[in-house]
Amino acid sequence: MDIRGFLIDLDGTLYDGETAVPGAPEALACLRRRAIPFLLVTNTTRMPRRDILARLRRLRFDVEEREVFPVPDAAIQYLQARKPGARCFLIGATTLDEEFRAAGIQVVREEQPVDFVVLSQYSWIHFGEIGVAFRLVQAGAEPVTMHRDMTYPEGGKLHASLGGAVMVLEALTRVPVTVIGKPNPRFFELALRHAGLDKAGTVMIGDNYDGDVRGAIGAGLRAILVQTGGYDARAVSEGDVRPTWLLASIGDLPAWLERVAARSS
């Protein structure tokens, strides 16, 4: 079986908040020993890349900066391609402002003419921001969201995520919001390009049926669904596609690779 690389989700797949999934650091170490490249891909916007890396290293993951591809990177590429030097009204953590401005994108936090309204996940989205976004979209700004996940796992709980706010904005404006992150095929294509991987040889590993499995398979990859984090057996049974493989957790990846290698020999 030809497996040349992996895209791997973070929340619910490698860790739950400040707790690593058992065996997850060892799974990445196994990929390194086998010289199988991987890229960590995430829809999270609750923390910047440096904080993601800090968390991974606290949890004993041996990861380099280039091996993390968070959705803000893809959003920046999208905005730059659509309009270099664009102005955007950004709803989300202020830690994102620095990354956008470093890429030449103008970020505003008050109501004024902009090219884009960008939604990202953080704890305190409020109706004042949604009201501003509504009026700016009415005035012609393109609405963009980092993702539209309805929940995310952390601390052993599922928390409300960005999807609800996206639905509210679409209901108000009657304008479809452009989705940047998983399950958008564009996100997977950007991640593959970043990692130097090809679709045919790459497997996505994640806990979210819609974002990780349906998204990856729709983009032409194969997918492993892990039964941790936000795993939802009902979503799988009612879904229109099936995971290529199902594992109890990413901690089972080394043994699974052994079985794959044995069948291929």
State the Cα torsion 58-59-60-66 to the nearest 10°: -80
- Distances in Å between the alpha carbon of 178 and those of 11, 13, 56, 162, 183? 23, 26, 30, 13, 12
Tell me the domains of the chain and their CATH numbers: 5-71+182-264 (3.40.50.1000), 72-179 (3.40.50.1000)
Checking DSSP bridges between strand 87-91 and strand 116-119, what pairing results, if any? parallel
pTM for the model: 0.89
Query: What is the average pLDDT across 221-238?
Result: 95
pLDDT digit string (tens) for 148-186? Answer: 988 888 888 888 889 999 999 999 999 999 999 999 999
Phi/psi of residue 149, nearest 5 degrees: -60, 140
pLDDT digit string (tens) for 212-224? Answer: 999 999 999 999 9
pLDDT digit string (tens) for 2-22? Answer: 899 999 999 999 999 899 999
Checking DSSP bridges between strand 38-42 and strand 68-70, what pairing results, if any? parallel
